[in-house]
Structure 1
Amino acid sequence: MAAQSGIMSPLGASCMRRPAAPSPARKLGQRRWMTQRSSSASRQERMFCALHTRRAYLAQALGLTLALAAAHPRLVAARSTDGSTDGSADQVVLGGVEDPMTAPPVRLEHKGRIVAIGDLHGDLRKTLVALKVAGVIEEDDGRPVWCGGDTLVVQVGDILDRGDNEVAILSLLREIGRMARQDGGDVIVLNGNHESLNVAGDFRYVTPGAFVESAIAAGLRGEEAYEWEHQLRARFALWSPGGALARELAKNPTVLIVNDTVFAHGGLMPEHIDYGLDKINLEVAQWMRADPTGEDGGQAPPPFIAMGDANSIMWSRLYSRERFASPYDKYRACMVLTNTLEKLNCSRMVVGHTPQMSGCNCECEGRIWRVDVGMSSGVLDARPEVLEITQDEAGQSSVLVLSTSKPMVYSPESSM
């Protein structure tokens, strides 16, 4: 029997080639088959190399996550007296007091500066850069600490998915928020569509590293943290309604109004106001906490108006499509926006959700600001930018885009 050549796959199996066929048609088919097999083997080799590179990267990322957890005791797994973990995902906490009867606030008054930060999508490194650009953190012995005074930071949602360090970001923002409140500032995180996806059990955008991070947050260690069955169980336990991290998300508002600025992940429309903003925040919180509702005591359902379709608060892209597709689209969006802001007696709205190729920008004569710059390495890997809103003694607002380059001052002409 003639020797057959083959390409060895990374798993050790040989991708054998068929012997040459006599007819031209068979030869053409053979060449196509060989090309497909060779291409398949090359993909396997690339995947094999990527797997090892990925595991090395995850080791570094998880080391940073665990270092944050050790430095700030707000990410903990339940431990017995001998120091071993009991593996209970329900014992993971980030801090704060939970009141099942209350909803996150809708309206706040704040005299200090306000900073809006867009979607973070699991990128801890870019999160730290964005906070430094905002001028609210500095390093103290290698740890991030608050230095923003009475600044109020509003992160507009989508911390989850597309990146590996979701829990680390949540715990970081909780910790610097605790520090900020001591100085008269605060850090408030909104719920975005990717938070609602995870609470609903939709993990299609979760990275392998985020699965590992969730497993470790649930108390798994060693090889168990890398086994997909354990990862999936841990993810469901943490993020499903009533889970430890879902209850943390329940503390976050879906809609927030600070002074004369509205913050929402996708966007707010008149019908949302008619439904009731306090009611929306409460219903999202009740669903995430798995509060019993109704006479039968059944679990609170997911609120459709907040996350159910393309016109919901978390999913709407009415205002966030960069450089509207047509003059009519711009006219319609600006008209709806004007009606919405008039109902709330507000001057502007800040949204995330849709990555902006040109960075933070505004439309409708400065009444809508888009702050999702796609900074996460899982999205555009763009340079972090944040939005700064300040008020003078007369109550007049000014808006700045802060980045690693020179700050850009808003002028109405720039949005035309």
Structure 2
Amino acid sequence: MAEPVSPTTAEPAVPPEVEPVSPTAPDPAPRRSTPSRIVAIGDLHGDHAAFRAIVEAAGLVDAAGVWIGGDAVLVQTGDVPDRGPNSLLILRDLMRLQGEAAVAGGQVVALIGNHEAMNVVGDLRYVHEGEFAVFRTDESQRLRRRYYRENQEMIERVYRWREPALSEDQIRRLWLRETPLGGAELLMAWGPDGEIGQWLADNPAVARIDDTLFAHGGISETYSALSIAEMNARTATAIAARDGSPEAIINDPDGPLWYRGYFLRGEPGELALVPPADAAPEVDRVLAAYGARRIVVGHTPSLGGIRILLGGRLMAIDTGISAHYGGVRSYLEINGDAAIAHIVGEGENP
């Protein structure tokens, strides 16, 4: 999620991609033919209290945070980390709830958002100080030096994708500034062998459940030529390689983690709002490509509440839930043909 609909504050995005498909990548979330209820929650950005309040209000967990949702499906559309201090608590809740829900016949689907990808590739510019503090120990100084030494080539490559003219010394100083003590441990946790990285490897970028598509940013027409399995395979390959290149699907502004074309269009720095009716042809072609009825996305914020657009074919559920944004706590409930937008503490959102 970027700062609320301001074309000048959007996070840096980078140009398009083509990369090989990994045969070992995870399949999309299973397509359940008759889920009893789907609850979708947008960008959380480190606000664990908000997450707990929402899943409890939705009847998915009890006051202790234990799954009571039966065979319901919870979809979190990505961007758990950054901006707020308690991402790790949310991530561990999601890990635990996946197991608890499965035992009860339910499901927890945690999509990969652009901020998950940024943490994987080592872009820590939006990490809250509280996140570093969680990982900080007496060994952090030593570990940070070792991490830089062992990963210098990768670090320099990522920084030069952002700014090609940077010298080795400039990169080292920038990295140290953006990676305070505790940062090396955080990077290791998000790495392929880390607690978060191992879990993330099994998570999709795009899921279809019954006749509903879910993605963090959206599916552009460029990517609608690919199957869901292929998009997830490319994402898994890029995540495993910690690929910070502009060509990787996890960095592509037209890719499912970054796409904002349903709502904003134009050149970087000159983005303009797109009236919903203007987005309808693209949305309809994307839905037709996957035989879906609707698409649910986060990433592009609407601080007043969930927006149900185009007769219910497009649903935007990033409502700035985190205290960082000051939006509203919300969730989308899909039950059969009905889709209801809830604001926690204030009933339903029309």
Q: Please indicate, yes or no, whether the TM-score normalized by the shorter chain is above 0.5.
A: yes
Note if 1:366 corresponds to 2:312. Answer: yes
C-alpha deviation, 1:283, in angstroms: 2.3
Cα distance in structure 1, aligned partners of 2:113 and 2:50: 18
Note if 1:169 corresponds to 2:114. Answer: no
Larger RCO: 1 or 2 (CA < 8 Å, sep 6+):
2
User: Are 1:133 and 1:386, in contact at CA under 8 Å, matched by a contact in 2?
Assistant: no
User: Are 1:201 and 1:240, in contact at CA under 8 Å, matched by a contact in 2?
Assistant: no
Cα distance in structure 1, aligned partners of 2:193 and 2:239: 6
The aligned runs of 1:18-167 (5 Å cut-off) are 101-109=24-32, 110-139=34-63, 143-167=64-88
User: Are 1:242 and 1:288, in contact at CA under 8 Å, matched by a contact in 2?
Assistant: no
Which AA in structure 1 matches 2:53?
Answer: V
The aligned runs of 1:261-272 (5 Å cut-off) are 261-272=212-223
SS at match of 2:94: helix
Instruction: Return the match for 2:250 from 301, 307, 325.
Output: 307
User: Are 2:43 and 2:319, in contact at CA under 8 Å, matched by a contact in 1?
Assistant: yes
Cα distance in structure 2, aligned partners of 1:163 and 1:301: 23
User: Are 2:252 and 2:258, in contact at CA under 8 Å, matched by a contact in 1?
Assistant: yes
Instruction: Return the match for 2:211 from 260, 270, 294.
Output: 260
CA deviation map 1:139-172 (0-9, x unaligned): 2xxx311111111000000001001111111001
Which AA in structure 1 matches 2:251?
Answer: G
Instruction: Return the match for 2:333 from 380, 388, 392.
Output: 388
C-alpha deviation, 1:300, in angstroms: 6.9
CA deviation map 1:174-215 (0-9, x unaligned): 112211111111111100000111111100000110011234
User: Are 1:126 and 1:384, in contact at CA under 8 Å, matched by a contact in 2?
Assistant: yes
User: Are 2:71 and 2:104, in contact at CA under 8 Å, matched by a contact in 1?
Assistant: yes
Report the number of matched residues.
Answer: 287
Match in the other structure for 2:169: none
CA deviation map 1:62-90 (0-9, x unaligned): xxxxxxxxxxxxxxxxxxxxxxxxxxxxx
TM-score normalised by length of structure 2: 0.74
Cα distance in structure 1, aligned partners of 2:210 and 2:332: 15
Q: Quick one: structure 1 residues 229 and 126, their matched pair in 2 at CA, closer, same or farther if it must change by over 3 Å?
A: closer
CA deviation map 1:372-394 (0-9, x unaligned): 110101222x3311000011xxx
C-alpha deviation, 1:405, in angstroms: 2.0
Match in the other structure for 2:297: 351
Aligned CA-pair RMSD: 2.8
Which AA in structure 1 matches 2:43?
Answer: D
Cα distance in structure 1, aligned partners of 2:278 and 2:248: 21
Which AA in structure 1 matches 2:305?
Answer: G
TM-score normalised by length of structure 1: 0.63
Q: Quick one: structure 1 residues 304 and 244, their matched pair in 2 at CA, closer, same or farther if it must change by over 3 Å?
A: farther
Percentage of identical aligned residues: 32
Instruction: Return the match for 1:288 from 224, 235, 239.
Output: 239
Cα distance in structure 2, aligned partners of 1:147 and 1:221: 40
**Stretches of structure 1 lacking an aligned partner (at least 5 in a row):** 1-99, 291-298, 392-396, 410-416
C-alpha deviation, 1:354, in angstroms: 1.5
C-alpha deviation, 1:134, in angstroms: 1.4
Match in the other structure for 1:209: 130
Cα distance in structure 1, aligned partners of 2:58 and 2:106: 13
User: Are 1:200 and 1:241, in contact at CA under 8 Å, matched by a contact in 2?
Assistant: no
